[in-house]
Amino acid sequence: IPPERIRGFSIIAHVDHGKSTLADRLLELTGAIAKRDPAATGTDKKEQEQVLDNLAVEKNRGITVKAQTVSLLWKRRGEVYLLNLIDTPGHVDFHYEVARSLAASQNALLLVDATQGVQAQTVANYTLAFDMGLDILPVINKIDLPSAQPEAVADQIDAALVVPFASHEFPHVSAKTGEGVAALLDLIVDRMAPPPEASVAARDAPLRMLLFDSWYNAYKGVICLMAVKTGRVRVGDTVVAHATQHVYTVTEVGILAPAMTPAATLSAGQVGYLCLNMKKKSESVVGDTFYHRARPQPPVQTVTPVKPLVHAGVFPMDPVELPALTDAIESLTVHDPAISVAKETSGTLGQGFRLGFCGNLHMDVFRERLEMEHQMETLITHPTVAYRLLKNDGTVVVTNNPARWPDEAEIASHYAAFEEPFVVATLLSPVTYVGALLSLVGDNRGEHLDTTYLDDHRVMIKARLPLANVLTRFHSDVKARSSGYASFEYTEAGYRRSDLVKVRVLLNGEPVDALSSIHHRSEANAVARAWVQRLKGVIKRQLIDVAIQGQVAGKTVARETVKQVVKDVTQWIYGGDRTRKDKLLAKVKRGKSRMRLFANKIELDPETFRSLISQP
Ligand code: GDP
Ligand code: MG
C-alpha cells in the first residue's frame, strides 16, 4: 500500500462514550472480524464483549485499560487504504496509555456521547491530543438513543474546544447499530492526512521506529509495538535500542489485524509488532527509538518516565509467597511501565514492595490482575502521595512512605517545612450543582480558580486541590453532591507548603507502622479518632486487655481500651465473592505468622486484618 494511502488515528473519549464499541464496528465493517448478528447474541453478555478489550480485568470491569492497536483495510473509490487504529482507555489513571497511543498517531477521533455531552475526560483527552499536535475530528455517538441531542452536543463541543471542523460537519454515528460508521470511514480517508513520514523518500531513509507498547508472550518473549517513522524493517535485521544500546535480531515482524499477522516488512508510516528475543522487562523502554545497527539515528522523542502519584506497600499474604509475588510483579510491570517498583520492609508486614501508580483505579486494576492472572492474594497498604520534606540545611527529602516520616524530635531540630502535591481539577456539571461543588472544593482545602459556561445548562469549573484529598473521597463526593451528573478530571500542579503531621496508631503502646499516615493538621485529629473507633470495633475477642491509642504528631488524641474476654469463635461477616474468600482463607491459614501485626497477642481474622491495612 503506497504511503499516501495510510491513515493513523486514535479514538479518545470520556469513559463509556463508546470507544471500544466503535472500534468493534470499524473492525466488523472492514472485515477484520466477522459480523455478529445482534439478534443471535440476545442478552448473552459474553458475546457482546468488545473484541479489543481482551484482558480479563477489562472484561470484568467493562473498561479499557491497555491501549490496543489494529490495522484495517478500507476501500474508497476503488482504492484500498490502510488504517492504523489505536483504541485508548478513557480514565485519567491511564493517561500515559492515551499519551503513548497519541505519540504513534497523527489524528484523533474525539467521541462524544449524544446523551451525555462534553464531560471532564472529553476535555482532558482533547487537551492532551491538542497539545501533542494531532488533528482532532469530533464524532457524536449514540444517536440511536431517544434522549440523544446531537445538535446541542455539537454546540457544547464548539464552546469548549477548538477543532478544525465546523460543528455541522461533525459526523453522527451509532457505534451500537453501525449507523453512520461507513460514512465515518470514508471521512477518515478523505479528511485525515497520511502520516507525514509516509512518503516514498521516507521509506528509503534509514530506519527509525518508536516503541510505544510492549507485552510479554510466553513463547516469543517481549512483543514490541512499533510505529515506523522512516525506513523499513524486516526479519533478520540487526537493530539497536537507543535508550539501552542493546542489540537485537528481528525474528518476526507483523501487523495486528487484530490477531498477530506476520508480514515481510514494516515501512515508514506503518504500525506493527516486532519480536526481538527480548527477555527482560527493563529492556522495552516505551518511547524509545530503534534503528539499524549500521545506521545509527537520533531518537524520535526523548523518553520521559511516567511519574507515579500514588504509592502503596504490597506484601504477600504468606511470607513464603514472596518469590511468587516478585515474579508476578515483574511480569505485570512489563505490561505496564507506569508502575514504579521498589523493595520495602515493614515492621508489621515483613518483606514486600513499595509500588507507585498513576491513581487509585490504576492500583485497583493492578491488584485485580495480581489475583486473576497470577492467583496472588496480597496485602496492599492504603495509598499515599509523595511528600517533600525541606531540611534546615537546604536539602529536600521525598518520601512516599508514612513509616519513614521523621519523629517529632527530629522534625523540631532538622526540618524547616513540608510540601504536598496539588492538582488542578476540571469539573463539568449541570449549572444546578455549582454551589454544592464549590463548597465541596472548600471542604477539601481547595481553591476555586475559574468558571466557564458552555451553554445555559453546563458549566466547567477549575479548582486547585491537594492530591491526597482527590485520591480518597473526592470522586465519590462529586458524584454524590451532583446526583451523579458532574464529572471530574485532574492534572498535576506541583508542590505547595503544607502543615503536615503524622497520625499513628498504637496497640498496647506499640506503634503499628502499616497503619500510620500523613495528614494536614486540620484533618489529623478526626483521622486518629476514626482509627481508634475502627480498631475498637474489630478487636473484640482477645485474651488480654488491649489499649488502642491514636496519636497526632506524637500526642495522644484518642484512646480506648478493649477489656479481655473469653475468646469466641464468631466469624467476621463480610460481603463479596465467597469462593475467592474461601481460597484466601485457606491460604492465610497456612500463613498464620502474617498475624504478627498483633504479635502483642492481639488476633484478628485475616479478612479484617486485610481490610484494616488497605483502607485509608
Ligand atoms: P468506552 O468506555 O468508551 O470504550 O465505551 P464502550 O464502548 O465500552 O461503551 C460503553 C457503553 O455504551 C456500552 O454499554 C455500549 O454498549 C454502549 N454504547 C456504545 N455505543 C453506543 C451507541 O451508539 N448506542 C447505544 N445505545 N449504546 C452504545
Ligand atoms: Mg473501552
The grid cell for 412 is 523540631
* Candidate from 110-119, 167-176, 488-497, 598-607 with smallest mean pLDDT: 598-607
Q: State how far the Cα of 355 lies from the Cα of 401, in Å rounded to an integer.
A: 11
Q: Are 583 and 377 in contact (CB under 8 A)?
A: yes
Asked if omega into 258 is within 30° of 0 (cis), the reply is yes
Query: What gap in Å lies between CA 269 and CA 195, rounded to an integer?
Result: 6
Residue 99 burial (CB < 10 Å; 0-12/13-18/19+)? buried
Substitution candidate for ligand 1 out of 14, 16, 49, 91 with most atoms within 8 A of CB:
16
HSE of 400, CA atoms in CB hemisphere, 13 A: 25
Largest CA distance in the chain: 84
Q: How far is the CA of 21 from the centre of ligand 1 (A)?
A: 5
C-beta atoms surrounding 342 within 10 Å: 11
- The C-alpha atoms of residue 192 and residue 183 are separated, in whole angstroms, by 14
Q: What is the pLDDT of residues 506-554, one digit of tens each?
A: 888 888 888 889 999 999 999 999 989 988 887 765 566 788 899 999 9
pLDDT value for 90: 52
Helix (H) or strand (E) holding 413, with range, is: helix 408-414
User: What SS3 class is residue 272?
Assistant: strand
Residue type, 275: C
Residue 103's DSSP bridge partners are: none
pLDDT in tens, 182-193: 999 999 999 998
For 141-163, the pLDDT digits (tens) are 999 999 999 999 999 998 888 88
Cell of 407: 519523629
| Residues 496 and 419: beta-carbon distance below 8 Å | yes
Confidence check: pLDDT of 133 > 90: no
Q: Name the DSSP class of 37.
A: P
pLDDT tens string 20-49: 889 889 888 887 655 544 443 333 333 445
Could you tell me the pLDDT band of residue 98, with boundaries at 50, 70 and 90? Answer: low
Q: Distance between CA 398 and CA 116 in Å, rounded?
A: 41
pTM score? 0.70
CA-closest candidate to residue 532, choices 502, 564, 507: 507
Position 603 scores a pLDDT of: 62
Q: DSSP for 50-102?
A: -SS--SHHHHHHT---S-EEEEEEEEETTEEEEEEEEE---SGGGHHHHHHHH
Inter-residue contact 9 to 192 (CB < 8 Å)? yes
For residue 36, give the DSSP letter: P
* Residue identifier of the C-alpha nearest atom 9 of ligand 1: 18
Rounded to an integer, what distance in angstroms lies between the CA atom of residue 493 and that of residue 421? 7
- Check residue 546 and give its pLDDT: 81
Q: How far is CA 5 from CA 286, 304, 548, in A?
A: 27, 32, 70
Calculate how far, in angstroms, residue 25's C-alpha sits from the geometric centre of ligand 2: 13
Distance in Å, CA 457 to ligand 1 centroid = 24
Q: Are 508 and 537 in contact (CB under 8 A)?
A: no
From the CB of 175, is ligand 1 less than 6 Å away?
Answer: yes
Give 99's pLDDT tier (boundaries 50, 70, 90). low
Higher pLDDT, 285 or 432: 432
Taking only the tens place, the pLDDT of each residue in 570-592 is 344 344 445 555 555 555 454 44
Among 72-76, 107-111, 126-130, the least confident range: 126-130
Which of 11, 20, 21 is the pocket-test mutation for ligand 1 (most atoms within 8 Å of CB)? 21
| Pairing mode of beta strands 6-13, 107-113 | parallel
How does pLDDT run across 255-295, given as a tens digit for each residue? Answer: 888 778 899 999 988 889 999 988 776 677 777 899 999 99
- Of 109, 84, 106, give the one whose Cα is nearest residue 271: 84
Q: What share of the chain is helix, strand, coil (3-state, %, to 5)?
A: 35, 35, 35
10 Å CB burial of residue 155 (0-12, 13-18, 19+) is middle
CA of 148 to the centre of ligand 2 (A): 20
Q: Which residues surround ligand 2, an ion (CB under 5 A)?
A: 19-20, 64
Contacts of 224 (CB under 8 A, 6+ apart): 211, 213, 214, 273, 274, 275, 276, 278, 284
Residue showing cell 502519584: 309
Instruction: Print the SS3 string covering 542-570.
Output: CCCCEEEEEEECCEEEEEEEECCCCCCCC
